[in-house]
Structure 1
Amino acid sequence: MAVLETFARQRLGATREPWDNVLRRNVKVLRFGGVWRPASKSGWRHCAFPLYFASVCGSLLNIITLDIVRSWLLWGDMTEVTFALVSAMTNVNGVFKMVHCFRHCETYSRLVSELNGLVELQRPYCEGNGDLMAAFRKACRRAARLTIGCLTYMNVLGQMWCVVPLVSHVPPGSRESPLPLVSLPGLHRENRGWYLFAYLVECHAVFYWNFASLGMDMFFASIMIQVTGQLNILNIRLTQLRQEGSTEDQAQLPRSTGFNLSRNDQHQQRSANDFTRMYSELCECVKHHQAILKYLEFLERVMSPVVLTQFLCSVVAVCVTLYQITFNPEGSGVIKCAMFLPIPALQIFVYCWCGHDIMEAGLSVSLAAYSCAWVGVGQRVTSALRIVMCRAQRPLQLTAGKVYPVNRDTFLSLINASYTFYTLLRQMRNR
């Protein structure tokens, strides 16, 4: 009977909560993009994965090679060289993410398993408390919407990038026909075989870049959102700390002593039990807070080089894309650059937004500890609360290569840096 009830709940989706693997959606995206190894250590999927990875990575490397060749052939043409630089930097970033995950696959798997363990620590408290469960579900919804929304936007944009070369007009004296990413001098649509091959290879790179590069960004963003959710759950637990024992214990207290205690003695013993219970709950909160801090240190070690590379490549991409929109005389090039411009800015913003939320939730731990019912409790509880508040006042700040803090101020400074470099390029062109 219990088996049937469980099966029915699973079929109806009544109690489906992503406790077991909160990142399963992101892992599926990366696995589809050729970044994440298959779960099984044997079978045809495991054997075919290196070839799958090589095909995706090879497409991106092919675009980088074509960008270098085009820059060499058209050296001196500022517009063409800068357009090739945008494409090259974007694909270099994607290749770096893929290789980093491929080389450290065990570390990435540990990142997922430890996050699931972190969620499991506070699961018993969430299942019995509506506020805690709401905070957990809110984090899961935010991660799902961000992942699905960004990937949907990028896939629609990628399809537009692939369609624009087919519908764009080619001037009669043009040296080449347009392609989604890199046009090859001397390759025209009349040469259908080579043009079709180059077109399909570049469409392959555009399609899989969305899942490999942007999918990695959504992976780390989802982790940060889940960690923020765990901090919010911890804050609610700290706020709900009260000096009260269970009614059952209080009812059994006179029978368990075997003496006719006075009303004052009973009150003192109940207060002592209440202090002990509150102190025990506070100790559990402290342990979970320490577990979150330890996990954030591990997350920073894994994520730091990826975020630093993303910041550097995105700054260059935004700068050069602004230059292209300003000075590119071709209509199709302006359209493609205008469609591409939000992408590097979005990739920077996602990291900075999620990292800033972690910092704010971490600082809120101190206020949550102060907001509990600490008035009149024992010295042990107040001393522990002071320690928690002092530790929580240090910001939980992730960094990119120990250079940039991952927060909203960094996002503004990087956008300002992109505009500064753009102004420098304009001055160089005018001279």
Structure 2
Amino acid sequence: MVFKFLNRLEDPNDNPLLGPTIWALRSGGMWQKSCVKSFFYNSVHFLAFIFVVSQYIELWIIRNNLVMAMRNLSLTMLSTVCVVKACNLVFYQNVWKKIFEYVSETERSQLAIKDEAVSNIIFDYIKYARCVTYFYWCLVTATVFTVILAPVFIYWSSSTYRESIRNGTEPYPEIMSSWIPFDRTRGFGFCVASFYQIYACFYGGTVVANFDSTAIVIMTFFTGQLKVLSVNCERLFGDGNEVVNYDEAVKRIKECHMHHLYLVKFSSVLNSLLSPVMFLYVIICSLMICASAVQLTMEDTGNMQRIWIAEYLIALIAQLFLYCWHSNAVLSQSNQVDDAVYLSAWWSQNVRIRRSLLLLGGQLRKTIAFTAGPFTMLNMATFVAILKGSYSYYTLLAKKEN
């Protein structure tokens, strides 16, 4: 049943790579067409924005309680990033569509040629993208249900806590810390707050799964296409024994040049969409990892809370790792693509072709890189630096607590 459902998401004729991605964006309200649906989805987005505002209000109210403030901060920062990602997908939908059209059109034209080497590269990175996408969807789903069910596990894990709730000395455990204009610790107020928080959890999970998987899949596309470009550059003149006339050689060089030119162009467009979001996420992720680590080591943190925080922390690190890993892969492949020019049978061509080949090599030296704002590149070095920075913040807070 699961495999049948996943097969229904495929769109091999129009969108070989982006079939599941486009389905997810449409289902999540990020890919809007009709006015009626757009109004409904935008209302959902607006309610999520109001929820984030209520989280900040609650954070201000409980600012003097370190334990409660830390727990609030961990989820409030993540909710903020979710809203920013949703706004990015909705407000810049036309720009995202242009990138999608380029990705699908490029793959369709390459697969239509039926070049075995190129087709194998495309099918390989499509298969890899599917594995990463479905794994990430499962990770986000597990995180969402962990956050929602954590209060239930906390309630049932301690008989003392249950007795405190019954005699009124302790409030019911809440899913997320947010402010509402009436008592949320008992009765009707608790039910309303719980439903609103459950909605916010599912909304946040949908946005994170859609935005992150979309970005990672497109990064995978750029890595795969750079490999295709490398293969085409190596085969510019065959094995040296193939007779390639001047016009044909110029045509092949021009095709490689235009291929790389469009990759650079659309990677810059993608980076303009991702960079502000990733800048915010890198800063917030450092704080969230630090806050989660502090909560794990607090003495008054229960075992079930520790399990919830550990799962949440793993999801945070995995999310950041996937971005940095795939961005680093694009950068690494981009730095290697110009080597393919000199692996070709350039020595079999005349001086005029060699000059054109040098120009192509110069073009291919332009690297494709993704950034997190204007200050840092998105790569594995940044990932390690963030973990180190989070550990430094944690040690400072731990010393202050002691």
SS of the equivalent of 1:397 reads coil
Code of the aligned partner of 1:375: W
Question: Is residue 151 from structure 1 mapped to residue 122 from structure 2 by the alignment?
Answer: no
Code of the aligned partner of 2:389: A
Distance 1:227 1:218 in 2: 14
SS of the equivalent of 1:396 reads coil
CA deviations on 1:81-122 (whole Å, 9 max, x unpaired) are: 111111110000001111222222222222212222333453
SS of the equivalent of 2:346 reads coil
Question: Is residue 278 from structure 1 mapped to residue 267 from structure 2 by the alignment?
Answer: no
In the superposition, the TM-score normalised over structure 2's length comes to 0.87
Question: Is residue 103 from structure 1 mapped to residue 91 from structure 2 by the alignment?
Answer: yes
Distance 1:376 1:398 in 2: 37
Question: Is residue 135 from structure 1 mapped to residue 121 from structure 2 by the alignment?
Answer: yes
Question: Is residue 31 from structure 1 mapped to residue 5 from structure 2 by the alignment?
Answer: no
Superposition deviation, residue 407 in structure 1 = 1.2
Superposition deviation, residue 150 in structure 1 = 0.7
Distance 2:200 2:11 in 1: 36
Distance 2:178 2:276 in 1: 31
Residue 282 (structure 2) aligns with: 311
Larger radius of gyration: 1
Residue 58 (structure 1) aligns with: 47
Q: 2:300 aligns with which of 320, 325, 329?
A: 329
Distance 2:79 2:11 in 1: 38
Q: 2:224 aligns with which of 216, 225, 229?
A: 229
CA contact (8 A) 1:227 1:292 kept: yes
Code of the aligned partner of 2:82: G
1:260-271 alignment to 2 at 5 Å? 271=243
Superposition deviation, residue 174 in structure 1 = 4.5
CA deviations on 1:314-372 (whole Å, 9 max, x unpaired) are: 11111111111111513133222111102222222122111111112212211211111
Q: Structure 1 residues 420 and 61 mapped into 2: Cα distance closer, same or farther (>3 Å)?
A: farther
Question: Is residue 354 from structure 1 mapped to residue 326 from structure 2 by the alignment?
Answer: yes
Superposition deviation, residue 60 in structure 1 = 5.4
Unaligned runs of 5+ in 1: 1-11, 246-266
Code of the aligned partner of 1:150: Y
In the superposition, the TM-score normalised over structure 1's length comes to 0.81
CA contact (8 A) 1:176 1:183 kept: no
The alignment's C-alpha RMSD in Å is: 2.7
1:364-379 alignment to 2 at 5 Å? 364-379=336-351
Distance 1:386 1:158 in 2: 53
Distance 1:391 1:286 in 2: 7
Code of the aligned partner of 1:51: F
Query: How many percent of aligned residue pairs carry the same amino acid?
Result: 20
Residue 298 (structure 1) aligns with: 269
Q: 1:86 aligns with which of 74, 77, 90?
A: 74
Superposition deviation, residue 277 in structure 1 = 2.5
Residue 4 (structure 2) aligns with: none
Distance 1:281 1:328 in 2: 67
Distance 1:395 1:418 in 2: 30
Code of the aligned partner of 1:392: L
Unaligned runs of 5+ in 2: 1-6, 156-160
Code of the aligned partner of 1:143: A
